[in-house]
Amino acid sequence: QRKNPFSSDDRLVSKPVHTHRGDPTYGRPPEGSRTEQRGKDAHSHVGKEVEELCLIIRSTGEVGEDGHVSVTFGQLFETYVTISNKVVGILLRARKHGLVHFEGEMLWQGKDDDVVITLL
């Protein structure tokens, strides 16, 4: 579009052609762009889903001897699947942020129903 003589979009002309790995803007959308806003909105939405997942674990799980609330993946899946079909992805995001703990890299319905998920 930069070289397109029929493009009337002046925003394209002022942008740098390439960014490099050392550049702080590398891999990021232009500041103030709609793409940046969509990314922020998506991040906010996922954060709310993680919070909702933690609330469901707290309400359906049982308090263990260590004081942490735990629930099996099978029980959580049956409860949470009616709310969202992305339960495994949300669990992985919650673990990445240190909110839950479970063994294994991925959880599969049926195979991992007995895996214990602990709310940290």
Whether pTM exceeds 0.75: no
- Classify residue 9: in a domain, yes or no: no
- Classify residue 108: in a domain, yes or no: yes
- Classify residue 95: in a domain, yes or no: yes
Q: Give the model confidence (pLDDT) of 43-79 as tens digits.
A: 999 999 999 999 999 999 999 899 999 999 999 988 8
- Classify residue 91: in a domain, yes or no: yes
- Classify residue 76: in a domain, yes or no: yes
**What H or E segment, with its residue span, contains residue 43?**
helix 34-60
Whole-number CA gyration radius for the chain = 21
Domain extent, residue 66, equals: 34-119
- Classify residue 11: in a domain, yes or no: no
Contact 56, 83 (CB under 8 A): yes
Contact 74, 116 (CB under 8 A): no
Number of domains in the chain: 1
CATH code of the domain covering residue 76? 1.10.10.1540
Higher pLDDT, 62 or 19: 62
